[in-house]
Amino acid sequence: AQSVTQPDIHITVSEGASLELRCNYSYGATPYLFWYVQSPGQGLQLLLKYFSGDTLVQGIKGFEAEFKRSQSSFNLRKPSVHWSDAAEYFCALAGTNFGNEKLTFGTGTRLTIIP
């Protein structure tokens, strides 16, 4: 079975501060990993994805994530957050076996930015 855990339900950071959102996964091999963002009233937008290769992946809006196999983690980072980054962030996993099309999502982390 595959699963994703986002330990932090809600995080508050000051504008301009650095950010790290945690994601841990459970899967029998190295999965495909994704971070999505959901702004209020919007659909889910892909920030970045990891399939293979370089374990540090760059995404849109200045976000990056690092895959660490030893820790089964795929944490999302941003060096300096902007007020527009306030949103819900979802980590997701896809299995690598043929025919497995589903994404398994974490419960999400709500990010609040304070001035």
Interacting residue ranges for another protein, rule: CB under 8 A: 32, 36, 41-46, 49, 51, 90, 92, 94, 96, 99-108
Place of tokens 């030893």: 70
Closest separation in Å from C-beta 18 to another protein: 26
Closer Cβ to another protein, 51 or 83, answer by number:
51
Closest separation in Å from C-beta 104 to another protein: 7
Closest separation in Å from C-beta 19 to another protein: 21
Contacts 24+ apart (CB under 8 A), 43-50: 44/90, 47/76, 47/89, 48/76, 50/74
Closer Cβ to another protein, 14 or 51, answer by number:
51
Cβ contacts of 86 within 8 Å, gap of 6 or more: 39, 111, 112, 113
